Amino acid sequence: MRVVLDTNIWVSYILTHRPPISTIIDMMVDEEEIILVTSIELLEELERVLSYSKLKRFYTEEERNRFIALVAAMSDIVDLPEIIPRICRDPKDDMVITCAVAGVADVIVSGDEDLLEIGRAGNIPIVTARQLVESQSR
């Protein structure tokens, strides 16, 4: 299954390392059930968010950089078009959807209410981390 993880999912993981997000990482690393799909733009967004002063107390700069490099190394990195179509209120959400479409993802995982309210991007469902884990355990 090809999965795009929104930046907020990565931030939750780095701060808590708890289920359901840690379960998704296990599914990706140990069980190889998930292929992570991302883009340079989403990696840059992750780097920007993890540089917020309120988050810096949770990790060193070196740990942050290694984490981003690890996410990149584990991912199928796809190219986004120059012009990203406006779908959501927040252009950063449009990048997530465009990445999923460009990367032929099966699902988008997010904690962002705007994305979750949309529910689908074409044929690609937008779900919470918990919903993805529950759907895979059936």
Taking residues 62-82, what's their average pLDDT? 96
Q: What's the total number of domains in the chain?
A: 1
CATH code of 113's domain = 3.40.50.1010
Which range of residues forms the domain containing residue 77? 2-136
User: Rounded to two decimals, what is the model's pTM?
Assistant: 0.94
DSSP secondary structure of the chain:
-EEEEPHHHHHHHHHH--TTHHHHHHHHHTS---EEEEEHHHHHHHHHHHT-TTTGGGS-HHHHHHHHHHHHHHEEEEPPPSSPPP-SSSHHHHHHHHHHHHTT-SEEE---HHHHHH-EETTEEEE-HHHHHHHH--
Taking residues 86-115, what's their average pLDDT? 94
Q: What is the per-residue pLDDT across 98-112, written as a single tens digit (0 to 9) for each?
A: 999 999 999 999 999
